[in-house]
Amino acid sequence: MLKPSLVKELKVIVGPANLSTLPEELVVYSYDATQREALPWAVARPASSGEISEIILLANRERFPVVPRGAGTGMSGGSVPIRGGVVLSLERMNSILEIDEKDFIAVAEPGVITGDLQREVESRGLFYPPDPASHKFCTLGGNVAECAGGLRAVKYGVTKDYVLGLEVVLPTGEIINTCARTVKSVAGYDLTKLMVGSEGTLGVATKIIVKLLPLPEHVRTLAAFFNDVQCAAAAASDIMAQGILPRALELIDEAALRAVENYLKKDLSLGAGAMLLVEVDGSVETTAREADRVAEIMVHAGAVRIQRAESAAERDQLWNARRAISPALYTIKPKKLNEDIVVPRSKIADILREINGIAKKHELLIVNFGHAGDGNIHTNIMIDEADFPKAEAAAREIFAATLRLGGSITGEHGIGLSKAAYLPMEAGPGSIAAMRRIKQALDPNNILNPGKIFVNAV
Ligand code: MLT
Ligand code: ZN
């Protein structure tokens, strides 16, 4: 609970209309896509870095938590205010400030919807490649906080590869700029990279400068259907091994296919056991050549049917289906443990085999889909409430198998709350101690997003 005098002070900072303590409003800011929830004490909707700085200074004076929030689409609990405090909703800071067509950069506020930025730059022949599945809802600030990946990471990389610089409000209230607007800069420690992926614990990005690319001339999209997921995984590895670098290479297993077909009430696969969705981009000629080669490789690997998207509408239909998998899985069970392990891409078939064994051992349904091109698979352990303990045991075994194969326990969703208990499986005690020291140095009063990333975070 916030003292009435503090509510008053916060109202002076953001304006009375932008500070709420009404229970029905607080609920709206209490959860993310993990289904975890905790009520904040208040929600503030600032309009500038100055207001954010003032809120944070007040929080340091009075020692209350401040939890930055974008659209709440995160998948590790990063924006859930588990210690209460003030949710700092960045929804009003939603302007694209600049698109510089000469320098190939865009400057945006954190509340800009990622898909809006993509569309805006594309209308000018430019390209912002990071493409989280939730691009129609998620915000750039959230993408920066979590270092979001998405569908095009296989060729173009993830959010951190595009953020050139940030204006950041530090947990102690200072406003800093982390970089110039240039493609290169080695002036001191790379604070930009430190901030990207810091899960709202080290600073609040209030201005985001991103690198843009020229919009590829042409795109071709193919779907291939297989009898089983092992064949599809082998085909994905074969495509990469042949030196083709598609801009997307997505794998969808049978249970995910059935779920999304039921959800959208559409038969996409004619009963197939797995699907690969591949997209290549470049010139008209190179994409034609690469699409043919990809189709050949997939047939050779056992594809029973290839579907080429012949129009933008057909292409959108395929991608909309892919983007809908995550919500569609709730048609199977009311709860899921949605993991985002990543393995070296040659090891996808191995990890899928391991996961299958773990699912059988624990008598659990584990649904797999995701970014096969970069080895990042979403393993969804589908459960009822009562299955939670065995699902956690299965998750631990999946993480152990992933690490044995040279992978990482999270490719794009972050540690947040969901994976804090598992971080020590991957990061050694020395690394975790160094991370904690960074947090302590920047946020001595543990104001910003407390309780995340580290178990027993104070
Ligand atoms: C996706 O790729 O669809 C997202 O990361 C969401 C998810 O993992 O469910
Ligand atoms: Zn994903």
- Compute the distance from residue 101 Cα to the ligand 1 centre, in Å: 31
Residue nearest to atom 4 of ligand 1 (CA): 133
Q: Measured in whole angstroms, how far is the alpha carbon of residue 212 from the centre of its chain? A: 19
64 has pLDDT over 60 = yes
- The H or E element that residue 52 is part of is helix 49-62
Closest C-alpha residue for ligand 1 atom 8? 378
CA 18 to chain centre: 27
Query: From atom 2 of ligand 1, which residue's Cα is the shortest distance away?
Result: 133
Cα(27) to centroid(ligand 2), Å: 26
212 touches 121 (CB < 8 A): yes
Quick: pLDDT tens for 350-371: 999 999 999 999 999 999 999 9
Residue 169: what are its φ and ψ, rounded to 5°? -95, 120
Reported as a single tens digit per residue, the pLDDT across 96-154 is 999 999 999 999 999 999 999 999 999 999 999 999 999 999 999 999 999 999 999 99
Q: How far is the CA of 338 from the centre of ligand 2 (A)?
A: 10
| Helical segments of 253-310, H only | 254-264, 284-300
Site residues for ligand 1, CB cut-off 6 Å: 75, 133, 325-326, 338, 340, 370, 378
d(CA 135, ligand 2 centre) in Å: 11
Other beta carbons within 10 Å of 410: 26
Nearest CA to ligand 1 atom 3: 133
Separation of 394 CA from ligand 2 center, angstroms?
20
Q: What is the Cα–Cα distance from 30 to 41, expressed in whole angstroms?
A: 10
C-alpha count within 13 angstroms, C-beta hemisphere, residue 249: 29
Phi, psi of 175 (to 5 degrees): -105, 125
DSSP labels for 403-452?
HHTT-BSBSSS--TTTTGGGHHHHS-HHHHHHHHHHHHHH-TT--BSTT-
Percentage of the residues of the chain whose pLDDT score is greater than 90:
97
Burial of 33 (0-12, 13-18, 19+ CB in 10 A): buried
- What is the number of the ligand 1 atom nearest to the C-alpha of 378? 8
Protein residue with least CA distance to atom 1, ligand 1:
133
CA distance 218 to 314: 15
Rg (C-alpha) for the chain, rounded Å, is 22
Question: In Å, what is the CA distance from 240 to each residue of 206, 216, 304?
Answer: 38, 20, 20
Structure token digits, residue 86? 């003030």
Closest ligand to C-alpha of residue 137 is 1
List pLDDT tens digits, range 240-279.
999 999 999 999 999 999 999 999 999 999 999 999 999 9
Q: How far is residue 38's CA from residue 34's CA, in Å, rounded to a whole number?
A: 12
For residues 294 and 239, the answer to whether their CB atoms sit within 8 Å is yes
Assess contact for 11 and 36: CB atoms under 8 A.
Answer: no
> For residue 232, which of 290, 308, 299 has the smallest C-alpha distance?
299
Distance 444 CA to ligand 1 centre (A): 34
CA 425 to chain CA mean position, Å: 21
Is the pLDDT at 232 greater than 90? The verdict is yes
User: What's the DSSP call for residue 392?
Assistant: H
Distance 377 CA to ligand 2 centre (A): 8
CA 340 to ligand 1: nearest atom? 8
Distance 338 CA to ligand 1 centre (A): 8
Residue among 452, 441, 380, 437 nearest 145 (CA) = 452
pTM over 0.85: yes
Q: Which residue has the tokens 């409000």?
A: 169
User: Which ligand is nearest the CA of 252, by number?
Assistant: 1
Per-residue pLDDT, 255: 97
Mutate to test the pocket of ligand 1, among 146, 249, 326 (most ligand atoms within 8 A of CB): 326
Residue 150 backbone zone (phi > 0: left; psi -120 to 50: alpha; other: beta): left
Distance (Å, whole) CA 293 – CA 244: 9
Q: What average pLDDT score do residues 306-314 get?
A: 97
Ligand 1: nearest atom to the Cα of 370 = 2
If one residue of 260, 332, 338 were mutated to test the ligand 1 pocket, choosing by the most ligand atoms within 8 A of its CB, it would be 338
Three-state secondary structure call for residue 74: coil
CA distance 240 to 247: 11
Report the C-alpha gap between 293 and 376 in whole angstroms: 23
* Statement: residue 174 has pLDDT above 90: yes
CA–centroid distance, 368 to ligand 2, in Å, is 11
Q: What are phi and psi of 288, to 5 degrees?
A: -65, -45
